[in-house]
Structure 1
Amino acid sequence: MTSPTKKLSAAGVSIWLDDLSRERLTSGNLQKLVDEKDVVGVTTNPTIFAAALAKHDAYEAQVKELAAAGADVDEAVLAITTDDVREACDLFAPIADATQGEDGRVSIEVDPRLAQDAKATAAMAQRLAQTIDRPNALIKIPATEAGLPSITATIAEGISVNVTLIFSLERYRAVINAYMLGLEQALENGKNLATIHSVASFFVSRVDAEIDKRLDAIGTDEAAELRGKAGLANARLAYQIYEESLDTERWRRLAAAGANAQRPLWASTGVKDPAYPDTLYVTGLVAPNTVNTMPEKTLEATFDHAEVLGDTITGTYEESSELLDRVAGVGISYDEVVEQLEAEGLVKFEDSWTELLETVRASLDNAR
Structure 2
Amino acid sequence: MNTNDPLGRLSAEGVAIWLDDLSRDRLTTGNLQSLIDTKHVVGVTTNPSIFQAAITKSSLYDDDLRRHAGQGSDADAAVRDLTTDDVRAAADLFAPVAARSTNGDGRVSIEVDPRLAHDTDGTIAQAKELWAEVDRPNIYVKIPATKAGLPAITAGIAAGISVNVTLIFSIDRYREVMDAYQAGLEQRVAAGQSLDGIASVASFFVSRVDSEIDKRLDAIGTGDALALRGQSAVANARLAYAAYEDVVAAERWQRLEAAGAQRQRPLWASTSTKNPDYDDTMYVTQLVAPDTVNTMPEATIEAVADHGDITGDTIRPHRENAWNTLAAVRAAGVDLDDVSEVLEREGVEKFETSWNDLLESVNAKLEAAK
TM-score of the aligned structures, taking structure 1 as reference length: 0.99
After TM superposition, give the deviation of residue 315 of structure 1 in Å: 2.3
Question: Which of 285, 292, 295 matches 1:293?
Answer: 295
Q: Which residue in the other structure is 1:335 paired with? A: 337
Whether the aligned pair in 2 keeps the contact of 1:82 and 1:132 (CA below 8 Å) is yes
SS in 2 for 1:193: coil
Q: Which residue in the other structure is 1:344 paired with? A: 346
The whole-number CA distance in structure 1 between the counterparts of 2:334 and 2:174 is 21
The whole-number CA distance in structure 1 between the counterparts of 2:302 and 2:28 is 21
Per-residue deviation, residues 250-273 of structure 1 (Å, max 9, x unmatched):
101101110000000000000000
The whole-number CA distance in structure 2 between the counterparts of 1:6 and 1:117 is 41
Q: Which residue in the other structure is 2:128 paired with? A: 126
Whether the aligned pair in 2 keeps the contact of 1:232 and 1:284 (CA below 8 Å) is yes
Q: Percent identity?
A: 60
Per-residue deviation, residues 340-362 of structure 1 (Å, max 9, x unmatched):
00000010010011011111111
Question: Which of 201, 204, 207 matches 1:202?
Answer: 204
Q: Which residue in the other structure is 1:280 paired with? A: 282
After TM superposition, give the deviation of residue 101 of structure 1 in Å: 5.6
Matched, 1:80 2:94: no
Q: Which residue in the other structure is 1:62 paired with? A: 64
After TM superposition, give the deviation of residue 186 of structure 1 in Å: 1.6
Question: Which of 357, 364, 367 matches 1:365?
Answer: 367
Per-residue deviation, residues 84-126 of structure 1 (Å, max 9, x unmatched):
0000000000000011362001000000101111111010000
After TM superposition, give the deviation of residue 318 of structure 1 in Å: 1.2
Question: Which of 109, 119, 135 matches 2:111?
Answer: 109
SS in 1 for 2:311: coil
1:71-220 aligned at under 5 Å gives the runs 71-100=73-102, 102-220=104-222
RMSD: 0.8
The whole-number CA distance in structure 1 between the counterparts of 2:103 and 2:15 is 15
Stretches of structure 2 lacking an aligned partner (at least 5 in a row): none
Whether the aligned pair in 1 keeps the contact of 2:8 and 2:40 (CA below 8 Å) is yes
SS in 1 for 2:152: helix
SS in 1 for 2:310: coil
Question: Which of 245, 248, 256 matches 2:250?
Answer: 248
Please, which moves more after superposition, 98-107 or 81-90? 98-107
Q: Which residue in the other structure is 2:311 paired with? A: 309
TM-score of the aligned structures, taking structure 2 as reference length: 0.98
Q: Which residue in the other structure is 1:266 paired with? A: 268
After TM superposition, give the deviation of residue 73 of structure 1 in Å: 1.1
The whole-number CA distance in structure 2 between the counterparts of 1:286 and 1:191 is 35
Whether the aligned pair in 2 keeps the contact of 1:101 and 1:195 (CA below 8 Å) is no
Q: Counterpart of 1:257 in structure 2: which amino acid?
A: A
The whole-number CA distance in structure 1 between the counterparts of 2:295 and 2:94 is 15
Whether the aligned pair in 1 keeps the contact of 2:272 and 2:297 (CA below 8 Å) is yes
The whole-number CA distance in structure 2 between the counterparts of 1:300 and 1:189 is 46
The whole-number CA distance in structure 2 between the counterparts of 1:208 and 1:323 is 12
Runs of at least 4 residues of structure 1 off by over 2 A? 188-191
Q: Counterpart of 2:208 in structure 1: which amino acid?
A: R
Per-residue deviation, residues 28-78 of structure 1 (Å, max 9, x unmatched):
000001111111000000000000011110101111111111111111111
The whole-number CA distance in structure 1 between the counterparts of 2:341 and 2:318 is 25
Instruction: Give the total of aligned pairs.
Output: 368
After TM superposition, give the deviation of residue 190 of structure 1 in Å: 3.3
The whole-number CA distance in structure 2 between the counterparts of 1:247 and 1:302 is 31
Q: Counterpart of 2:258 in structure 1: which amino acid?
A: A
